[in-house]
Structure 1
C-alpha cells in the first residue's frame, strides 16, 4: 500500500463510493485502536470501536467531498489523530458552563429553522473552512461574490431570528 499508484487507486475507489478499503482497515486495526484508545483516553472497547467507525466515516466524507485530495502516507496515524481530536473536543464541550451550553442550543435551534441552502452555506464556510470559491462550486453559484452575498444574507436571517426570539421571550 506504499506506492503512489496504489494510494491513488484507493482514493479513486473511495471517491466513487467503494468503501471496501475502509472496511478492511477497520477490521485489521480495530483491536489495536481499542488498545490505543484505552491507554490514551480510558475508553472501553465498545466505545473505541464506535469512535473508530465515526472517524472512518468522517475520513470517507473528507475524501468524497474533496477536502482530502491525497491519501496520507501514514493513514493509521492520520486516523488516530482525527480520533484524538474528536475525544478532546468532546471533553471540552462536556464542561461548558450551563449558560454557554444553553446559548449554543438556542443558536442551533435557530440554525435549523433556516432553509437547507443557508444551512449548507454556513456549514461549508464556518465548519468545513471552505473559501468562497469552493462554496460557490458546491452550491452551484456563478462565482465567489454570489457565495459571499448568500452567506451574508443567511447570517442576517440568523441574526434576525435571534432578535425575534429574544424579543418574544422578554
Structure 2
C-alpha cells in the first residue's frame, strides 16, 4: 500500500484525512449501487469502511498489504455491504454483463494494470485468461466477489452446492496445472 496514504491515515490533521476520505467516496457509492442498497446505507457503509481502514492503519495492519488503498477500502466496504444484505435478507443478482471497468474494483485493481506485476501475479493473470468462461466466472464469483457456495447456487444455474464445489475444484486444478506446465 502507498506509504504516504498510511502516514496520512495515522499522523494527519483532520483536513488531510477528510481529503483522503472524499477522494474515493463517489467511486464507492457508484460501485455500491449495483447491490440495490439505498444511498444513505451506502454512505453509512463507506464511513464505517473508512473508519475500519484507519483503525487498520493505526494498528499496523496495512504495512504488509500489497493492494492499493482504494482496493483495500473497497474490499472492506464490499464485505460490509454483504453483511447489510444478509441482515436485510436481500439477495443480489449476479449479472456478468454489468461487470465493466468501474465495477471490477473487487476483481482487478485497476492500479495493478499500470504497475508491474510480480512473476506469480503475471502467471496467474495470463493463465486465468486462458481458462474457459465458466471457470473464469466460477473463480471470480468465489475468490474475487467473495460469494459463498450457497450464494453462487442462488445466482447461477448450478443445481446445488456440491456441483459448485466440484466445478470450483476442477477449475482451480486446471489453473494450477496450466501454471505448472
Q: State the partner residue of 1:55.
A: 28
Higher relative contact order (CA 8 A, sep 6+): 2
Show the counterpart of 2:145.
128
Report the 3-state secondary structure (helix = DSSP H, G, I; strand = E; otherwise coil) of the residue aligned with 1:140: coil
Q: Does 1:39 align with 2:12?
A: no
Write the mapping of 1:10-159 to structure 2, written as runs, cut at 5 A: 39-40=16-17, 43=20, 48=23, 51-63=24-36, 71=38, 75-82=42-49, 89-91=67-69, 101-159=118-176
1:54 CA drift (Å): 2.4
8 Å CA contact 1:110–1:162 kept in 2: the answer is yes
TM-score by length of 2: 0.49
More helix by percentage: 1
CA distance in 2, matches of 1:81, 1:101: 32
**C-alpha deviations, 1:112-149, integer Å up to 9, x for none?**
21122111111111122222122122220111111111
**After TM superposition, which residue ranges in structure 1, 4 or more long, deviate above 4 angstroms?**
70-74, 81-85, 91-94
Tell me which residue corresponds to 2:59: none
1:105, 1:140 → 2: CA distance? 31
Q: Give the Cα–Cα distance (whole angstroms) in 2 for the partners of residues 129 and 62 of structure 1.
A: 14
Q: Which runs of 5+ in 1 are unaligned?
A: 1-36, 64-69, 165-170
The SS at the match of 1:142 is coil
Question: How many pairs are equivalent?
Answer: 115
Mark the runs of 5 or more structure 2 residues left unpaired by the alignment. Answer: 1-13, 54-61, 73-108
Report the Cα distance in structure 2 between the residues aligned to 1:57 and 1:72, rounded to whole angstroms.
10
TM-score when scaled to structure 1? Answer: 0.52
Whole-angstrom CA distance in 2 between matches of 1:73 and 1:60: 11
Structure of higher CA gyration radius: 1
Contact in 1 for aligned 2:32/2:42 (Cα 8 Å): no
